[in-house]
Chain A
Amino acid sequence: MIDDPILFEVIKNSLISSSREMSQALRRTAFSPNIKERRDCSCAIFDTTGRLVAQSKDIPVHLGAMPMSVKACIEQLGEEMVEDTMALLNDPFSGGSHLPDLTLVSPVFHRNERVAFTANRAHHADVGGISPGSMPGMATSIDEEGVLIKPRIIVRDGKLVKETIEDLLDSTRTPNERLGDLSAQIAANIVGGRRLQEVAKNHGWDIVTRTFYELRDYSAQMMKNAISELEGKDSEFVDFMDSDGVGNWRIPIKIKIKFEHKVISVDFEGTASQVLGNINCPLASTLSSIYYVFITIFGTGIPTNEGCWSILDVRVPIGSLLNPQYPAPVSAGNVETSQRIVDVALGALADIIPNRIPACSQGTMNNLTIGGIDYRTGKPFSFYETIGGGAGAIKGANGASGIQVHMTNTLNTPIEALEIAYPLCIRAYKIRQNSGGLGRWNGGEGIVREIEILADDCEVSIQSERRYLQPWGLQGGMPGKAGLNELEYQKTKRKLEAKTTIKTLAGTIIRIETPGGGGWGIPSKI
């Protein structure tokens, strides 16, 4: 199957390191703290049909979804994507995830022929919409969430054509930062293309593209081996979203998993229909979440590429919460609902392979956006972050505390970077003691984060989950504590909803306590 195992290994690793270098270029040249410090961005390399070949290990929810973006560009732009062009998109209904995630796709050419694609996705701090940060809690239509960009060429002859993104620059609150971050995204694809050409110079494009196929077959075969012992097993599970933020509560996500004929079939029949609020999860993000689960459980040592999910047959009912149609709002789906998809899939697998599945982790990303006018410069600002929490315990080990789980892995913004960039002051950032579920092995603990807003007339949006339904334990382990959002102004405290958008005055303190993870096994003493 593999022609030259050493060459295969060398090219495979060169491709992975090329995508890592793309990520580095993106982070190193970006302007917004969300990208340069939190690294809320991902890079990957694709074949000419948009299948994933190699990726840097960045943000899981981005990575599994990007192939659909590349495929959307190929379908909608086709031959328009000539040499030295790049296409931009964020359309959640064709390969996008939520509007702030801008994906940039570049073809790579050799002798006038397309031989590969490089692409990267970065979360921009503001793309317009009714509230700063473009994740409004009360939106009931995607039109309120910002500018929707269908695949379009924005770079020609290697240069950004500003006119092609006028709508974005007009609606964002921070156009200068957008331009800076976009040039970083352009840089990443340039670096990726250049590295690919170097690899091909050493080995020839024939060999490199042959390796694309070998890689896919290799990973597919490895995945098949990994699931072979589970043939015939099946299971189902249901869990709930707390709310959609506009009046709907306890929204079910149902999964059925079956290992048969060397394929894993995953069916979401029985999941709620799309809802009025913003927790609808675009198909690409739903698939991404499922890919993540099966890679972590069966494929940790396997190179991640399209081959890994060639053994998956995923059915998601059209018009459901996990495959919503226009004009459903989606801003929290990609970040919150994706975490619940992982929970239900792990819940189902826990019946089949109990010793390999961890208890429920915090199950949210605790999205916080704060926007307004920075009194120090007189200019608008838009701050976005997600906060870690407790990881679920697994047989043999306690869950980690204060850590990003499952579908995200963004870093925090260092306090010393954050306070330079924004009129904010971090008053506390520490472990939330005793918030993990007890068990034979204990769940990890959440985080307490307290931010004082120094500017007047700001708008704060919180999109969070697991504020009511606690992260469950497994095999007799106790659940982790639910999260808590609070506001303090002039010494008066007030509880905030799980999903909310509010106006604040200078001196307001936002306090977020993130959920703990579930415990595993019966605690030795209660």
Chain B
Amino acid sequence: MRTIGVDVGGTFTDIILFDSMSGKIAVHKIPSTPNSQDIAVVRGIEEILQREQIEPESIDSVVHGTTVATNAMLERKGARVGLVTTKGIEDVLEIGRQNRFDIYDIHASRPEPLVRRSDRIGVAERLDSKGIPLLELTEEEIKGAISRIKELDLQSIAISLLFSYQNPKHELQLLSRIKQETNLYTVASSGVLPEFREYERTSTTVLEAYLGPLVISYLEKLEDSLRTLCPKAKLTVMQSNGGTILCSETEGRTIGLAISGLAGGVIGGWNIGRNSGYTKSITLDMGGTSCDISSVVEKIIVRPDNDVEGLPIRVPAVDVKTIGAGGGSIAWIDEIGVLHVGPQSAGAEPGPAAYGKGGEKATVTDANLLLGRLNPHNFLGGRVPLDVVSSRDAIKRIAESLSLSIERAALGIIKISTTNMVQAIREVTVERGHDPRTFTLIPFGGAGPTQSCEIAEVLGINQVLVPPYPGITSAYGLIVADFRVDTMKSVMLTGKKEDEKIIQAVFVELKQKTITRLVKQGVDENSVRFELGIDMRYAGQSHELAVAVSDNSTDYLTSSRELFERIHEQEFGYRLPDREIEWVTVRVVGVAPQLGISKTEISQRKIKQNIHKRTVIMPDGKEYSTRIFQREGLQEGEVIEGPAIVEQLDTTIVIPPSWRAIQQKNGTMIIRRLST
């Protein structure tokens, strides 16, 4: 079985090809094409197939991590959405939950809603809390709404009516008529998130409408191209929850791709850390444009609700923080003469000044080049030649405004970029009550390993683990990610005797649904592992506890009741034996492992070591005559004392003085700080 993983970053598109028969991995990297990501995706696949001389027909699956949805949200470039709501609550998005984000912010504010006031369409209809119509939806109202929609210059429609999760009838009527009479991407809240709380449901539904047209047309285009290129390959996409979904299944579920591109990195970094025996790790994915940071203790944290720029999204997603700090981050000086780095980036075009493509602004990459840390002839395996003179000119401008030497200015740029990342790491560790000093830092992306020891030093971290192919760790994450399907059904039971049958039946139904969706993705039915759960609460509470139950029980009611009361007592210190219990939602997660990839199968290419030396300015500001190694020439167990530089195809590793690196058997490199 052959799988290709393609991860699109802001600057580069990374391709990884894995053959499960031979265990062989091949990697490739080309510049991204931000305006149509699919161009680089297709080109990259073509190139790797050609280079490795592999038959396109032999590719079974292509797993894709994309930032199309994320970028649309961050840049607010999604569709113009019309929102159809129950009359009287048209402003539900603008009012939100009525609260402000920071109680001590004197300028109380909330983000601009995604639907402007003119595009909110109220229809006269009403259900009560049980879903029984108080006011029927009339033909006249439907027509009225459709003619309003046609008057406005809309690109998609979100329908969210009160209590539609109880009874989707009115929403479905509107959905089918709007689809019939317009060509717009239209979604209904009862399909996207059949859950109570109108604001959160509406926000999620509107985001689906906001992203849908863009994401679907992107994926369709990509699938078309792939059909010609690799006719037998199934296209799957990484979801925010760290599992994959078949491309053809994404309509109405594009919201699940909100942070698709980030999840691959977290999974990849975590997998590599775990395979080396480290359970507490900080993954640091630093590319050209941004840096994605996640802290993992034991297992990946998937949060049920998230928000992007203050807009709630009620879909599960891995816990990751992104900041605008990468190799391409631009250094600039503000009006009072203070040096800043980022969040603006020179990206791939024109790129850092060193790329010689017309970029004149100094970036982190330029600073690294000037300090001797990057090799102008061996950056990305020599595929991107760097121009030292342009870098020097760019940094000279910064240095002159600051009245510093060029070297001091370059060191300053790196230092500030490091501080920005340190701050973000604190947020995902210290602010969650974890001491970063007890973690292993796992740097990857093209720029991560160049700065990682410096970052570790500031945080008091003693141990850095560099993956075998740091530049393509996100793509690696795509191919080692489990196939994962989350299904759920609201049941709302009170534990009557006959409820056992209902629970049994729902588990059977959901398992079937899960299997069907997994098999469609090419999974062997027998390899599917289930995680069963029931969300329960005491009657009258409105937050549930997730109770994991074992598969194939004959008495879920009794076993889950006991578990629920025990967990409630553990978490909150008490149980209420007289209170009724409610079984609210039944959940089934289906997980199927990837293709048996394991640590021993990652074989690094070996070349003969050819150590040379060059002058490098290390983080302590001193010049060192530094030995330069090739990663592919390192022997298992080989020890390198800092100061040293290790170059490889997709990144450059800086080992400062007082740090010691050891190339490990599984291809990773561990760098430890020597005790002082």
Contact = CB atoms under 8 A, between A and B. Distances in A.
A16 B431 CA distance: 8
B574 A183 contact: yes
B95 interface: yes
B106 A297 contact: yes
Contact of B573 (A158, A300, A429): A158
Contact of B91 (A177, A300, A399, A402): A402
A137 to B, nearest CB: 23
A25 B572 contact: yes
Interface in B161-203: 162-163, 165, 196-199
Given A397-B109, A447-B95, A416 B197 contact: yes
A409 B103 contact: yes
B571 A430 contact: no
Contacts of B426: 9
Contacts of B108: 361, 391, 399-400, 403-405
Interface string A373-413: 00000000000000110010010010111111100011110
Interface string B77-95: 0000000000011111011
B540 interface: yes
B88 A430 contact: yes
A214 B541 CA distance: 39
Contacts of B90: 430
Nearest to B134: A425
Nearest to A58: B103
The B contact surface, by secondary structure, is loop
B551 interface: no
Interface stretch (A186-194, A228-236, A245-253, A492-500): A186-194
Interface string A257-301: 000000000000000000000000000000000001001110110
Given A36-B542, A177-B540, A388-B98, A29 B196 contact: no
B411 to A, nearest CB: 23
A412 B128 contact: no
B573 A190 contact: yes
Contacts of A400: 100, 108-110
A394 B98 contact: no
A31 B572 CA distance: 14
Nearest to A29: B572
A6 interface: yes
A427 B88 CA distance: 6
B573 A10 contact: no
B92 A28 contact: no
Kindly state the interface size class of chain A when it binds its partner: 35 or more
Nearest to B97: A411
A415 interface: yes
Interface string B107-136: 111100000010000000010110000100
A429 B99 contact: no
Contacts of B220: none
Interface string A3-30: 0001001100110111000000101111
Contacts of B433: 13-14, 17-18, 199
Interface in B330-375: none
Interface in B514-558: 538, 540-543
A190 B199 contact: no
A59 B100 CA distance: 11
A417 interface: yes
B573 A9 contact: no
A299 B104 contact: yes
Kindly state the interface size class of chain B when it binds its partner: 35 or more
A304 B196 CA distance: 35
Contacts of B198: 414-416
Contacts, number: 174
A173 B511 CA distance: 46
Given A29-B572, A190-B573, A410-B99, A430 B541 contact: no
Contacts of A77: none
Contact of B104 (A6, A296, A399): A296
B105 interface: yes
A57 interface: yes
B404 interface: no
A405 B98 CA distance: 9
A468 to B, nearest CB: 24
Nearest to A180: B540
B88 A410 contact: no
Given A304-B104, A419-B129, A414 B99 contact: no
B382 interface: no
A184 B574 CA distance: 9
B432 interface: yes
B508 interface: no
A18 B431 CA distance: 10
B100 A401 contact: no
Interface string B569-580: 001111010010
A191 B100 contact: no
Given A9-B430, A428-B88, A431-B91, A36 B541 contact: yes
B431 A28 contact: no
A239 interface: no
Nearest to A18: B433
* Interface-central residue, B105, B107, B199, B426, by most chain A CB under 10 Å: B107
Nearest to B105: A300
A430 B93 CA distance: 10
Contacts of A428: 88-89
B102 A300 contact: yes
A358 B576 contact: no
Given A190-B574, A401-B94, A414 B196 contact: yes
Contacts of B102: 57, 300
Given A31-B541, A415-B198, A416-B163, A429 B104 contact: no
B95 A431 contact: yes
B541 A29 contact: yes
A409 B92 CA distance: 17
B310 interface: no
Nearest to B164: A416
Contacts of A403: 98-100, 108-110
B604 to A, nearest CB: 36
Contacts of A411: 97-99
A304 B102 CA distance: 13
A409 B504 CA distance: 43
A388 B572 CA distance: 32
Contacts of B381: none
Contact of B571 (A25, A202, A426): A25
A420 interface: yes
A288 to B, nearest CB: 12
Nearest to B430: A13
A388 B430 contact: no
Nearest to A517: B108
B144 interface: no
Contacts of A412: 95, 97-98
29 contacts: A6-B437, A9-B430, A25-B571, A28-B543, A158-B573, A180-B540, A180-B579, A296-B104, A296-B106, A300-B105, A358-B107, A388-B98, A388-B99, A397-B107, A400-B110, A401-B94, A402-B91, A402-B95, A403-B99, A409-B99, A416-B162, A417-B542, A419-B128, A426-B88, A426-B89, A428-B88, A429-B91, A430-B89, A431-B94
Given A405-B108, A414-B197, 9 more contacts: A10-B430, A29-B543, A30-B541, A60-B103, A187-B574, A297-B106, A414-B196, A415-B89, A428-B88
Interface of B: 88-92, 94-95, 97-100, 102-110, 117, 126, 128-129, 134, 162-163, 165, 196-199, 426, 430-433, 435, 437, 460, 538, 540-543, 568, 571-574, 576, 579
